Structure 1
């Protein structure tokens, strides 16, 4: 069960946009959906699902606009949707819940939904949708509405190009120059996107190209 939880988290992370920021000698990755909210949604789905629904599994889907987690079993009969959203909780699977709490996956009973919402809102996302749909609980976490050009380079409006600029300039300041291979490794991106970033920064007169062919590299443009 815990192995499956970690594998699903890994799967979700691999399909999310991520921003990198250099702090000192370390690179810090920030995912478009906060990882603590993802973990909380998955833990809630595992702990509160109805295991008597044989043949029904927890479904996780990643789409252009949302992360969707659907778990079998609606809200417990003794609590309403309003109660759930306000933090009231009733434990359906006491043994599973106790194990998760003892291992640190659950901090406080009834706090999961509030943490999911507050984490997403602090991250700049819309408030997640948590609702009962038939005999299922359906959770939707909204992704960032990226405005991406055909070559995959984020525009300035979504804030990503500003991070790219800072990362590239910081790297050049420390290493005097940067080439395509180094940028690809630094940001974990493909060749076409690296070239697009360099082109954008040159158009802004922030960097200039030196050398030719495979010897091409980029330096900070002198004012």
Structure 2
């Protein structure tokens, strides 16, 4: 009986010490690419994904599709802007991402698979000690990028000549719901757009579907628009 009591107490202690699954941090590659190319970052061992933006009528406006290696590099990354009938597909080839059609070198890489340069635009990227892109430098434009302690992108400030465009993103207090955020865009410190997003999440704490409310403060009176985002995500 004494042995049973001891084992029961040990089991209860171990159960009490178990921690609930905590969200994985965002990798430097995922965070930096999403910050630069304007899509929602994802956590965990993502194999491939798609993010589709739709208006209130359910019409598809934009779509991002990506395939990733087990090491967390983007093997392919597609951008489709249905509104303007434009798009591009990037494929990984050694230390570059090439245009899938023209085979032009679009992005030069550093380290394992991080942004280093946009050759055609002569833009150079700088990283911090943790491998996150924190600056971009070009002839007539520069940008600064910020992240929180978990690697989630919290802002981007772009300067070109006399214009400064800043986007600041603030998530709620729930670390499992990073994509529930409020973002404020300013032009030369004047508010122009406010964005509020809320999502449903999967077991990896990645968004499955989101609603996006955008208010254009530069219009008179301010104009509000509502969008939805549908995601598909496969994991290793």
Establish whether TM, by shorter chain, passes 0.5.
no
Instruction: Work out which of the two has the higher radius of gyration on C-alpha atoms and give 1 or 2.
Output: 1
Identify, as 1 or 2, the structure richer in helix: 1
